[in-house]
Chains A and B, each alone.
Chain A
């Protein structure tokens, strides 16, 4: 049976993954922010299940693979849109980045489009124009030869 995603579960997840500094920074807004984050995570699980017919067990990941949970429960991921949370989860589950189109202009509408090949060889595209979503790019690793590198994976700091 899967654990319930609520403010308490998110608080515990942040503590277990070493992200509890957020609780200090949120200060008296912590309870409200925890509820907001829990709502976003529930929406993510619901949408992921609708698309892929499987339920991402984000709370189980904390014990199964703490480094990956630390990346998923990082502030940048938690604040990202549902679409980008799905992209991040697909990366954590073995997806490969095939291309990234990122168009940025200061104080203008910017855009991010990520093309993935999932672990089961499906081509997927994720798009966003929300500035908070652009921060997920900071977590992507690099592999391969320096001149022909590949973006890969999703990691915490």
Chain B
């Protein structure tokens, strides 16, 4: 498994109605890696994540997860959707949301039992949300909601984590906590792919970066690919970004 790509995408095109959102993408995502997907609004970042899981609009191309098609490898992937994709008014508490990560394991027609609840509680503990387990989800802050989502993905015991803007609308402390969690996942040889918005933190957070704007602009190790030139090609001239190198320095 060592040399094999965690996710291998070849010739992927995705279209809503007739408008293509992603054009012939070729991409290899190595395992045990923390990968950021960046690009302007409407660049197809979320669409790429969905295409990997084959849940978005119709796509063509070949996607392999550890060398096998997605349908065979579904248990290896855990998804953290955008926060606004959820009906926050829905009557569930944090623990019940986390237990959803176990639904496939529980199987059709079966109920969530005490053992599953223990597992869910442990996942909540690992994101520091144990004391909020029985709180209704709409009564959590943005950062707390995001942590619940994360716990739900963790409980799936996946190899690959696909996260859609996990840092959107969360406070600084939660962002730090999430980053540490992601780094732990990588240390446990998990692959984490994150759609990200804040360019300044890219060099700090990610080993590799995928720069996307309908087509692939660049992909590779952050130190090599996240250059001013590529950012310019991805976002156009209007985007004012702190120089990546500077951002790196400020870390030290």
Q: Are A and B bound to each other?
A: no
